[in-house]
Amino acid sequence: MSFDITFGRGEPLPPGIYDAVVDSADLKDTRYGEKILFEFNVPEHGARIPGWAKPSTHPKSNSYRWSTAINPAIKANGRFRPEDVVGRKCRLELDVYVDSEGDKKNKIIRVLPAEEE
C-alpha cells in the first residue's frame, strides 16, 4: 500500500494578507454540528490553512462571505457547492492565535477576492 503524507510548516504565517487557492470545501460532522471545512493552500509559503464555517445562507456567515468572495457568481446564483470554489484563487487575511493546547495557529480574519491580473 502506498501513501503520501505532506507535513505542515509547523509555524503559522505572520499576520498579513496572502494569495491562496481553495484546495477543498467539505461538509464535516463536528461536536458543534455540521461545518464546512475550507482547506486553503498558500503556495508561496508552502502553507495549508484550514477554515471552519457554518453552512448558513445568512449574509454575515463565514460560508456566505467566503464563498462569494472566492466566486462572486455564487451571490447571483443563490447557492454554493464545493465545485463553485475548489481550485479558485483568493486572498486570505490572517492573524495568529494561541489554541487551547498552547500552540500558535493561523486564524482567518477575512477571505478576499483574488487580485485581478
pLDDT in tens, 24-39: 999 999 999 999 999 9
User: What are 86-113's pLDDT values in tens digits?
Assistant: 999 999 999 999 999 999 999 999 999 9
| E strands, 8-103, in order | 16-30, 33-42, 47-53, 89-98
- Residues near 94 by Cβ (< 8 Å), separated by ≥ 6? 12, 13, 15, 16, 17, 18, 49, 106, 107, 108, 109
Residue ranges of alpha helices (H) inside the chain are 62-70, 73-77
